[in-house]
A and B are shown apart, each in its own frame.
Chain A
């Protein structure tokens, strides 16, 4: 299946072809849910946003005009669904800690080797220790493999802001990895 297949499925879905839309859902539901789990504070919120996102995609399939990939399009819808849920609750915390401090916490200047890199559970725990905004950007860029431009578009921020957020998230991930691996 390719991007062109996605476009055909969405075109058919916009004309009421439910089987085509089901095919589109099956193609992207895993990745969308992974993103939502990474960003949401709990699985229940992620599942609510998953449903809301695909319902919105079904109702708005005709509005997809290409440009970003169909996967990026539905990811954006999903993320917006989750953001609406977040807005209904508290504001999101900002992290403006200086990069130098974050580097020191991540082990710059220390001699001890970084451990646990081959252990999936250690990596998962380190990723899980990050806040939602950081997990989100790492998930999109490093796990789902979207380009920097696509991630910036999905997050609704500039490419420069995306790069800054990504770098902070990676540094925090290395810090968390040290904490988890070294107990």
Chain B
């Protein structure tokens, strides 16, 4: 039975879940980081989900950041429109 309100190391799983993006972005306070780190040492659910979450966002950034250039027809129509201005 999974329970998001389980408290481990002084912080509930639900709170860790809410702070996950900020934690990933290095945008939590020192105190929050210490509490989350301590929680992750003892909570398999949050550790596993946190890893999946970080890997998914990492893959998004890595694989999709370099997207194809603007379609040639779209670029041509943009230039035609600008030429009228």
Measuring CB to CB, which residues of chain A are less than 8 angstroms from any residue of chain B? 21-22, 25, 29-30, 33-34, 47, 50-51, 54-55, 58-59, 99-100, 103-104, 106-109, 111, 113-114, 117-118, 120, 123-124, 127, 138, 142-143, 145, 148, 163, 166-167, 170-171, 173-174, 177
Render B35-57 as a binary contact track against A, CB cut-off 8 A, 1 for contact.
00000000001101100110111
The residues of B with any CB-CB pair to A shorter than 8 Å are: 2, 4, 13-14, 17-18, 20-22, 25, 27, 45-46, 48-49, 52-53, 55-57, 59-61, 63-65, 67, 69-70, 74-75, 77-79, 81-82, 85
Residues of chain A with a CB closer than 8 A to B4's CB? 100, 103-104, 108-109
Contact of A30 among B2, B52, B70, B85 (CB under 8 A): B70
Nearest residue (CB) in B for A114 is B52
A99 touches B56 (CB 8 A): no
Query: Do residues A167 and B56 form an inter-chain contact, with CB atoms below 8 A?
Result: no
In-complex Cβ contact of B63 among A55, A123, A173 (8 A): A123
A163 — which chain B residues lie within 8 A by C-beta? 21-22, 27
Known contacts A108-B45, A109-B45, A127-B60; 15 additional CB pairs below 8 A are A34-B67, A51-B78, A99-B14, A99-B18, A100-B14, A103-B4, A104-B2, A108-B13, A111-B48, A124-B64, A143-B60, A143-B61, A143-B65, A163-B21, A170-B53
Residue in contact with B59 in the complex, picked from A33, A111, A123, CB distance below 8 Å: A123
Which residue in A30, A103, A143, A166 is a CB contact (below 8 Å) of B64? A143
A-side contacts of B74, CB under 8 Å: 33, 47, 50
Known contacts A29-B70, A173-B56, A174-B52; is-contact A100 B64 (Cβ 8 Å): no
- A58 to B78 Cα, complex, angstroms: 12
Q: What are 16 A-B residue pairs whose CB atoms fall within 8 Å in the complex?
A: A51-B78, A55-B85, A100-B14, A103-B17, A103-B49, A107-B52, A111-B48, A114-B56, A117-B59, A120-B63, A123-B60, A127-B64, A143-B65, A145-B65, A148-B25, A173-B57
- Minimum Cβ distance to chain A for residue B64 (Å): 6
